Amino acid sequence: MAGLLCRLLLCLAAAGAAADLLLEEVRRSVDLSTHLAKVSAELSLANAAGGAAASAFLLALEPGLEPRLAYLGVQVKGEEEEENTLEVRETKVKGKSGKFFSVKLPSPLAPGAKVRVSVEMVFTHVLQPYPTHITQSEKQFVVFEGNHYFYSPYFTKTQTTRVKMASRNVESYTKLGNPSRAEDTIEYGPFKDIPPYSQDTLKVHYENNSPFLTITSMTRVIEVSHWGNIAVEETVDLKHTGAVLKGPFSRYDYQRQPDSGISSVKSFKTILPAAAQDVYYRDEIGNISTSHLLVLDDSVEMEIRPRFPLFGGWKTHYIIGYNLPSYEYLYNLGDQYALKMRFVDHVFDEQVTDSLTVKIVLPEGAKNIHVDSPYEINRASDELHYTYLDTFGRPVIVAHKNNLVEQHIQDIVVHYTFNKILMLQEPLLVVGAFYILFFTVIVYVRLDFSITKDPAAEARMKVACITEQVLTLVNKRLGLYRHFDEAVNKYKQSRDISTLNSGKKSLETEHKALTNEIASLQSKLKTEGSDLCDKVSEIQKLDGQVKELVLKSSVEAERLVAGKLKKDTYIENEKMHSNKRQDLVTKIDNILDAL
């Protein structure tokens, strides 16, 4: 309600001042050198003496140009030639058609005072190809229709209009006031004492082979991560809106003749932020390798070359994406965050975007979202986006705007709050997932989920268990011989027969117990019908031979200590026994490995 009241007051103030304001001088320039119509006007605005001070003035737009206006900017020049941008709001004038704008002055304009104002307007799709269809070898001509006069609700004392074209090849143009022409420029005026809302058709038919590229649709997705990265992806539908190609396309002529397809587009340059990295450029087929990337000090320049040249009426579709470090665009104070990024970025020079959709994906848990835009945008309902490790979704800001040009490349600021403790959510989810996985595996391998029992499998498990016990007992029994060897060596050094007898008694007792346990396990293997029973039997035989050699070695040691056997003979016999024993142990080990 307050905004509506403010607008009404502005309209009334502007309408009240309209009768007292006049334009002493208007110098207008119409730039038609590209596929855009750029109109700039230098106005000398005066307030008639004896009236009231004016805080605002009106700008008017012809009814036919309303849907074509993409940008309007107004600046006022001060005493030191500094420029201040003025606030512009759309308004209405009773009894008049067309579009009107109320421009608020920095300070009220007193009666008898003057102010210099600079107006800049950009129009799209006002240059119409004529003829509408051309062959590959023909040049492109376009027609522009406008107004000889600066359309204004105020009386204008004097006005000049300068029209700049893309080439000197002009088919025809209107000749109001005997205009002068030099190369690619036509000068109209000066016109004197022009009444308000004056109109007279200005028409120029000339050659224009500049790229008539139009972004018919573009979706720009900005995904913000508090882990240090901002991912940007742009999906672009591009169309050549110039004269439609008539007849077949010859690539041979296109490559051989430099003037073949002169109005077509082979490539264009896209300017990316200086910090852009991991850049990709692809379409439905896959990666497009004909692009080139040039890293500059203040930007990254990417040459986009479609898979085929674009002629009039032809279209292409592609996706470009890159990553940015978040510290250059994301600011915070405690839990308060502000994202400052461009609403639309540079795609090509003199770009025109018919329809733009911007989606800003904020971190999960972002709240109290507020958007500050330098111009009016259409906010749609916020959405939710789900990606890896998300639980309740990431908020997505969706905004739309139509008819954009390069002047709309400005920053928007997204304010939101975010609790930093939520950054632990994803790591904890990963830890919890692994914990559940490992716990499930532990439970699974320890439980039997089979419905029926498999006798063969149970038998194999029993045999494996018995075999494991046999291996343990055999190794333990072989260890007894090593302990007895140590007792024999002590006996040879100390000549204490009690040491030898004690070691021999311990060997006999423990060896008998282990042999009986192995024999018991052997009978179990036989009961299970396993052929491993025979191998265990062979181990028992070989072990008996090993024991016999061990006991012989102890007898030889007794004879040596008693002086009944010479040392040389003992050494020779001990070496022979040791070799035989080693061979037997090797055979036992081989059988154990087979088990």
The reported pLDDT for the residue numbered 14 is: 42
The separation between CA 100 and the C-alpha centre of its own chain, rounded to angstroms, equals: 42
Q: What is the pLDDT confidence band of residue 453, given thresholds at 50, 70 and 90? A: low
pLDDT at 452 (0 to 100)? 66
Residue written as token pair 């009334």: 12
Q: Give per-residue pLDDT as tens, 496-524.
A: 888 778 888 888 888 888 888 888 877 87
pLDDT-derived band of residue 13, with 50, 70 and 90 as boundaries?
very low
369-396 burial, b if ≥16 CB within 10 A, otherwise e?
A: eebeeeeebeeeeeeeeeeeeeeeebbb
Task: End-to-end CA distance of the chain: give it in Å, rounded.
Answer: 93
Give me the residue label for tokens 């001060």. 78
pLDDT of 172 over the 80 cut: yes
126, 123, 120: which is closest to 204 by C-alpha? 126
pLDDT attached to residue 103: 94
What pLDDT is recorded for position 3? 45
Average pLDDT over residues 12-18: 43
398: confidence class by pLDDT, cuts 50, 70, 90: very high
Task: Say whether pLDDT at 546 is over 70.
Answer: yes
Q: Provide mean pLDDT across the span 410-432.
A: 90
**Residue 21 burial by Cβ neighbours in a 10 Å radius (0-12, 13-18, 19+):** buried
Supply the pLDDT for residue 79: 60
Q: What value does the mean pLDDT take over residues 384-403? A: 91
Q: What is the pLDDT of residues 87-117, one digit of tens each?
A: 999 998 888 878 999 999 988 989 889 999 9
Look at residue 78 and tell me whether its pLDDT is greater than 70.
Answer: no
In 86-175, the DSSP E strands lie at 87-91, 99-109, 114-123, 128-129, 133-134, 141-147, 155-165, 170-173
Asked whether residue 16 carries a pLDDT value surpassing 50, the answer given is no
Q: Once rounded to an integer, what is the mean pLDDT over residues 484-489? A: 82
Amino acid 9: pLDDT: 41
- Check residue 523 and give its pLDDT: 82
- Taking only the tens place, the pLDDT of each residue in 354-392 is 999 999 999 998 999 999 999 999 999 999 998 888 888
Find the mean pLDDT for residues 417-438. Answer: 89
Tell whether the model's pLDDT for residue 457 goes beyond 80.
Answer: no
Q: Kindly report which listed range (77-81, 395-399, 537-541) carries the lowest average pLDDT score.
A: 77-81
Q: Per-residue pLDDT for 86 more than 80?
A: yes
H helix or E strand, kind and range, residue 237? strand 229-240
> Is the pLDDT confidence value at 240 over 70?
yes
Under the banding of pLDDT at 50, 70 and 90, the label for residue 18 is very low
Looking at every residue in the chain, the average pLDDT score rounds to 87
Q: Are 177 and 186 in contact (CB under 8 A)?
A: no
Q: Is 267 left (phi over 0), alpha (psi -120 to 50) or beta?
A: beta
CA atoms within 13 A on the CB side of 219: 9
Span of 76-90, 229-243, 401-415 with lowest mean pLDDT? 76-90
Reported confidence tier of residue 20, pLDDT bands at 50, 70, 90: confident
